[in-house]
């Protein structure tokens, strides 16, 4: 249940603990006004982008789909919007890895999270009175959350390079992009696109033409072949 954070039982627990500062890290719920008001505005979130860019969810998968190698994090106040609160601190760097998966982005982003939290704690209690930088309503972007079972279906009509990105975008730690083979649902975790001008008709795209000695499937795709090396 993703909205458990807004239940009355959570408020009761916070009151029992005499909590006066709140911190949200990787919370899947939109924290609502009763919780925000309880902390009198002293409730903070860490978001894995440079706000106001890329509000919303699915950040690491979107980074792969959009060929974006940026790793970033923003510490901001929580308001009643989605990632719209005033910005206190930000960090960024480049992910130096070929063919990264979401887990690679997560690992490096967690390092930035720790650095921001350490900076926040080092500046206590003065930072609690900072209002931060207001986010402009005219700038930024929003990316919707992605769900593997909904958005991870492989579209074999796409160019092979896009299919390979889709597979990586829904790979570790996610269940894997999926397709169907002989009426069985197959989740693909690892693949490689091999560019080749085969001239085959689009109706052949998505067809398995061979298996090698390792059991890897060779699939016809637009612009070449997709070598599928790990499935569930």
pLDDT value of position 1: 52
Q: What are residue 133's DSSP bridge partners?
A: 87
Q: What pLDDT tens digit does each residue of the chain (232 aa) get?
A: 557 889 999 999 999 999 999 999 888 888 999 999 999 989 999 999 999 999 999 999 999 999 999 999 999 999 999 999 999 999 999 999 999 999 999 999 999 999 999 999 999 888 888 899 999 878 899 999 999 999 999 999 999 999 999 999 999 999 999 999 988 999 999 999 999 999 999 999 999 999 999 999 999 999 999 999 999 9
pLDDT value of position 28: 82
CATH class of 148-231: alpha beta
Determine if the peptide bond prior to 12 is cis (ω within 30°). Answer: no
Q: How far apart are CA 40 and CA 25, in angstroms?
A: 19
CATH class of 4-143: alpha beta
pLDDT value of position 172: 97
Task: Give me the half-sphere count of Cα atoms (radius 13 Å) on the Cβ side of residue 51.
Answer: 29
Q: How far apart are CA 179 and CA 163, in angstroms?
A: 11
Rg (CA), the chain: 22
pLDDT value of position 2: 58
Cβ atoms of 226 and 191 closer than 8 Å = yes
Give which of 219, 232, 115, 208 is closest to 163, Cα–Cα. 219
pLDDT value of position 137: 77
Cβ atoms of 54 and 21 closer than 8 Å = no
Q: How far apart are CA 122 and CA 139, in angstroms?
A: 31
Instruction: Provide the residue ranges of all domains of the chain, joining segments of one domain with +.
Output: 4-143, 148-231
């Amino acid at each position: 249940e993703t909205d458990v954070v807004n239940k009355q039982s959570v408020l009761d627990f916070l009151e029992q603990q005499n909590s006066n500062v709140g911190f949200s890290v990787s919370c899947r719920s939109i924290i609502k006004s009763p919780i925000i008001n309880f902390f009198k505005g002293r409730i903070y979130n860490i978001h894995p982008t440079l706000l106001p860019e890329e509000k919303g969810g699915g950040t690491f998968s979107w980074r792969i789909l959009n060929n974006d190698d940026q790793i970033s994090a923003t510490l901001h106040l929580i308001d009643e919007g989605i990632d719209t609160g005033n910005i206190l601190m930000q960090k960024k760097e480049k992910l130096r890895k070929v063919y990264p998966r979401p887990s690679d982005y997560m690992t490096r982003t967690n390092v930035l999270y720790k650095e921001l939290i350490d900076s926040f704690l080092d500046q206590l209690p003065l930072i609690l009175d900072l209002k931060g930088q207001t986010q402009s309503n005219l700038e930024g972007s929003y990316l919707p959350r992605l769900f593997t079972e909904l958005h991870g279906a492989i579209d074999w009509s796409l160019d092979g390079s896009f299919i390979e990105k889709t597979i990586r975008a829904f790979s570790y730690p996610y269940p894997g992009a999926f397709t169907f083979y002989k009426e069985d649902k197959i989740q693909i975790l690892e693949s490689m696109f091999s560019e080749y001008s085969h001239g085959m008709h689009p109706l052949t795209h998505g067809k398995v033409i061979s298996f090698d000695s390792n059991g890897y499937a060779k699939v016809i795709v637009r612009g070449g072949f997709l070598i599928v090396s790990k499935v569930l």
